[in-house]
Structure 1
Amino acid sequence: MSAASFRHAGAVRRRVAAILALVLAVSVSPFAPAASAATWLVEQTDYPGEPGSIVTRTGDGLVPTVRWRGETRHDTARLIAADDSPFRAPFETSTVLIARGDLFPDALAGSYRAGQTDSPILLTQSDQITGQTLEALEELDPESIVLLGGTAAISAAVEDELMATYGDDNVDRIGGAERYETAVLLAASGGDPETDTAIVASGENFPDALVSGALAVSEGFPMLLTRPESLTAVTAEALNDLGIDNVLLAGGLEAVSQDVEDAIADLGIDVERVRELGAGRSGTAAAFARLAVERYGYTDDHLQLATGADFPDALTVAPHAGLEEAPIVITNASGVVDAELQAYLDETVSCDFAALHIAGGLLAVTTDVEDTAREALTTGPCAVQLAPESATNLVGETHTVVAFVTNSADAPVANETVTVVAMPASDPSTATPTPESQTMLTDESGTAFADITSATPGEAAIVACVTGPEGGDRCSDPVTKTWLAADFLATGLAGPRGVDIGRDGAAYVTESGFGGDECVTTTVEGPEGEEEVEFCFGLSGAVTRADDDG
């Protein structure tokens, strides 16, 4: 062992000693049995699965993904809204919002309304409802439907069709003469907001505004729109009417100009521009994701991924992301993982990362993009387990413990250094576990074996540790090992053949017994042909338990 390795092993041993001392001083609780290697691997769902379904990928050594694989943008919205899997968002589907699927402003502004009612957003064509949206409505069976936008966005024919099915009183429309007025009406539709913060985004270009909808849902921030070059009058008026004191401005100067920022500031409002300097759409999305995690308490163990080349999937996943308080990130305009998205994935990776959700089919987010993201978000080693939980041997006998090392996807980690430390389980203790510390590498199944013995009776606590991706030690729960002195004497045994120590510390002796007068005759094949042979047996075979009390 090199000097550096020796110092590392010693440091691990000292830290483990402190852990063991604390654990054993407070209590001794039963430890869960170590999982077998078979429980780590989950059978992988066939991929890419069927269009129009929710596809899960797991069990291949990378963090799991859940893809809402819609055949179209309308179908992806259906899958997100009607998802009844364990990965669903807690939608309150008594109200459903419907926006036009080929224009982004109304769906973006509708994120605020979705947050007020915990509702999903479905998409429609301007002049007719697609079959996939009708299917979603049938599955959700809402009591109320709200159309986002005026009749120029969603025609009166669509409204009439919905009223014929769900009733005139159950279909509402929130829409103005144009997109900016619609956003203002949506912001005012829930009464006075419970916050003094609003989001202002471009009403002309979607890229920098895409992922801001999640914060509108989770934080109740009204979503207002503006022209890129100048603050629209109806938006300026709404900022005053809503009592807004703080504005999150979505994107860089190409999305929303400095003139707009200055005009908002002239209203006496503090403006914070959310962007990465010099970054594109994926960088702005990453900036919103960081803001959501660091300021608003979003989780960093669950992430939504959508294409940045188009808007529908990122918009319809926003209510899911907001209710789950999990950020959205997007690819660049070419639909690939660029340096800005890669940097955010590298920041996010941890042993606690649970799942990546993907909004859209394989044309929207390719399998190459998915695999790149999964590889970036997978790390290890993250956990180590020891087995068996407890065992008993005679003094001088060797005990083997088995360490299992896994990554953030619960998959085995090969060629990983494991340090196993054995120490007396109490102070004072007469056990002398040897060696006290040893290191070994895991094999292809993530398994490593350590042999430990003791020249004296007593109990030892054993812990295995690996160095985690963050640099700190990740250690198993302690397991226990007891060595007993062979100082008992058993007499009167009927043909003793073997001895072993049970979990209760007693010795168990197998006895073959002696022959008796119970006989049977059978025919066997002998050297000269078949012959009859008599076998006699007794009933004295046994397993005898011997302990300190005799």
Structure 2
Amino acid sequence: MGKASRRLTGSLAAAAAASVAVAGAAVAAPSDSFQDEPDGVYRQYTIDNNLDNLFRVAGPDRISTAIKLMDSTSKWRYCGDRGKYENSGYYERNCDTVIVARADDFPDALASGPLADVYDAPVLLSNSGSIDSRVLAAIEDKGFKNAILVGGTGVWPAGAMQQLESKVGVGDVQQVGGINRYETATDIARHVGWRVSAQGVNPYTVNVYLATGTDFADALAAGSAAADNEGIVLLTNDKRLSADNNASERFTVRFLEEQSGWNSIFGKAVFNALEVHTVGGQAEAAAKSAEIDNIRDTNTGANRYATATMLAGKYRNGIDKIAVASGEGFADGVAAGAWAANHDGALLLTRNNSLSPETKTFLTGVADTDVDVVVVGGTGSVSRSVSDQIATELYTW
């Protein structure tokens, strides 16, 4: 197994080698990734262009759109064993967790797609500070038993934790985050690693998808691709990766340098990076400048739309659903990427007013299949003209 770290020297290399010697022998190859049961989109949501496999889920704003997206499929119809629908035929025992991320800025939410997948959890959005009352009402209505708050204490004060605890229970809220977006992504990665390792007889590795943390598009598309491949999303500082103590992205490098680390709480070695995939030109440049070994492949398209379709074309397990969101704004893509990861699907991006040629070509390739395509966001984010063009690609004469 190749290294997935910078070329370590001196005592740091020796420490990493010792760590591998302790735990590396127990590491097995990844098993099948988290696969989800078939889950159709509810027909009461808008059907664009009278096609039974093209939908639009939208609310008046990004917060309500994320709630409607959660409501749009049976996966999270009614959750929690203390929910009011516990004895109904719609009760889901596996959907006990909800994730809350920022609606007003993208950095902390960038790596949340794989986290949503391994917890079978939707991502809801709220402006930082206090939790939006609509989000709290939706969590209570579903009967979720656990909540994960993505972002550090600088984003979410103690009062936000207490608000969520009032709905799911005291002690049942985790805050996953760090001092910046890079540490938050590594904290998320560790949670994903623990969940992934628990699925097999032996612990095994996670795969790393590197994307820039200074913009949103590449990282959001990487999230659903990583979920298809037992992966996590880590962030580069544009075209830079450094372990220097003064570098904001040092957390990413140090995570990669951990190699195989023994976790005393879980008793498993879960942090090997079996494969490193770069997503976008900035991450590719950062990985090469930092001399990261074991880069499995690079996914650098001519633009963000091409990069997203490049990732979608490499899924190991096939695609059941496609979410299409604006590539010009982040918020709908955060919820849509998590939704896609939870439905063994891909996130594609488009310009607001015209379907991107790269996205159009990809959709042409899935015409006449059973894949549902869900446009996420209102016509101000993805215009009706775009859904008309999608319909043209999906419907073959």
TM-score by length of 2: 0.73
Mapping of residues 143-542 of structure 1, within 5 Å: 143-192=145-194, 193=196, 194-231=204-241, 232-241=249-258, 242-252=271-281, 255-256=282-283, 258-263=285-290, 266-276=291-301, 279-292=302-315, 296-299=316-319, 302-332=321-351, 334-349=352-367, 351-380=368-397
Alpha-carbon distance between aligned partners in 1 of 2:274 and 2:230, rounded to the nearest angstrom? 14
Are the equivalent residues in 1 in contact too, given 2:140–2:167 (CA < 8 A)? Answer: no
Q: By how many angstroms is 1:273 displaced?
A: 1.4
Residue identity opposite 2:293 in structure 1: G
Which is worse superposed, 305-314 or 317-326? 317-326
Deviations 1:123-142, CA, capped at 9 Å, x for gaps? 11111222321232122211
Secondary structure in 1 matching 2:231:
coil
Q: Which runs of 5+ in 2 are unaligned?
A: 1-42, 79-91, 197-203, 242-248, 259-270
Give structure 1 stretches of 5+ with no counterpart.
1-44, 46-52, 381-550
The match for 2:3 is none
Per-residue displacement from partner, 1:226-273 (whole Å, max 9, x unpaired)?
201311321111113221132111112xx335243341xx34332421
How much has 1:288 moved relative to structure 2? 1.2
Structure-2 residue corresponding to 1:483: none
> Which secondary structure does the structure 1 equivalent of 2:257 belong to?
helix
Q: What's the CA shift string for 1:208-228, capped at 9, x where partnerless?
A: 222111123333212111201
For residue 73 of structure 1, what is the aligned residue in structure 2?
Answer: 62
- The residue that corresponds to 2:45 in the other structure is 54
Following the alignment from structure 1 to structure 2, what is the Cα–Cα distance between the partners of residues 344 and 363?
Answer: 23
Contact conserved, 1:100 with 1:123, CA < 8 A, in 2? yes
Cα distance in 1 for partners of 2:76, 2:348 equals: 18
CA contact (8 A) 1:309 1:335 kept: no
Counterpart of 2:324, as a letter, is: L
What residue number does 1:524 align with?
none
What secondary structure is seen at the aligned counterpart in 2 of 1:168? Answer: coil
The change in CA–CA distance for 1:191 and 1:249 in structure 2 (over 3 A counts) is: closer
8 Å CA contact retained: 1:82, 1:139? no
| Cα displacement (A) at 1:356 | 1.8
Instruction: Provide the residue aligned with 1:103 in structure 2.
Output: 105
Aligned partner of residue 235 in structure 2, secondary structure: strand
Higher-strand-fraction structure: 1
Residue 119 (structure 2) aligns with: 117
**For 2:252 and 2:122, how far apart are their aligned partners in 1?**
25
* Higher mean C-alpha displacement, 67-76 vs 338-347: 338-347
* SS in structure 2 of the partner of residue 128 of structure 1: coil
Q: Say if 1:71 and 1:361, in contact at 8 Å, map to a contact too.
A: yes
**Cα pair distance change 1:375/1:185, threshold 3 Å:** same
More helix by share: 2
Asked if 2 retains the 8 angstrom alpha-carbon contact of 1:116 and 1:220, the reply is no
* Preserved contact between residue 118 and residue 319 of structure 1 (Cα < 8 Å): no
Question: What do the CA deviations read for 1:311-337 (whole angstroms, capped 9, x no partner)?
Answer: 1212212232123222221103x5421
Aligned-partner residue type, residue 260 of structure 1: A
- CA shift, 1:207, in A, is 2.1
User: Higher relative contact order by CA 8 Å / sep ≥ 6: 1 or 2?
Assistant: 2
Deviation at 1:370, TM superposition (A): 0.5
**Residue equivalent to 1:129:** 131
**Tell me, what secondary structure is at the counterpart of 1:306?**
strand
Contact 2:240 2:289 in 1 (8 A): no
Superposed displacement of residue 84, structure 1: 4.3
Using the size of structure 1 for normalisation, the TM-score is: 0.53
Q: Distance in 2 between matches of 1:220 and 1:270?
A: 16
Distance in 1, matches of 2:93 and 2:57, equals: 16
Q: What amino acid is the match of 1:315?
A: V
* Per-residue deviation, residues 154-207 of structure 1 (Å, max 9, x unmatched): 232222222234333111211111111111111112455543421111111112
Structure-2 separation of matches of 1:96 and 1:244: 27
- Return closer, same or farther for 1:298/1:124 CA change in 2, 3 Å cut-off: same
Distance 1:219 1:260, change over 3 A: closer
Report if the CA contact (8 A) 2:65-2:332 is conserved: yes
Q: What is the Cα-based RMSD across aligned positions, in Å?
A: 2.6
The letter of the residue matching 1:281 is: R
**1:248 partner letter:** H
- Asked if the contact 2:66/2:123 (under 8 Å) is kept, the reply is yes
Q: Deviations over 1:463-487 (max 9, x none)?
A: xxxxxxxxxxxxxxxxxxxxxxxxx
Is the Cα–Cα contact under 8 Å of residues 91 and 118 in structure 1 kept in the other structure?
no
The 3 A distance-change label for structure 1 pair 167 and 87 is: closer
What is the CA–CA distance in structure 2 between the aligned matches of 1:171 and 1:259, rounded to whole Å?
35
Taking the aligned partners of 2:192 and 2:53, their CA distance within structure 1 comes to 37
Distance 1:83 1:343, change over 3 A: closer
Query: Percent same amino acid among aligned pairs?
Result: 27
Secondary structure of the residue aligned to 1:303 is: strand
Higher-Rg member (1/2): 1
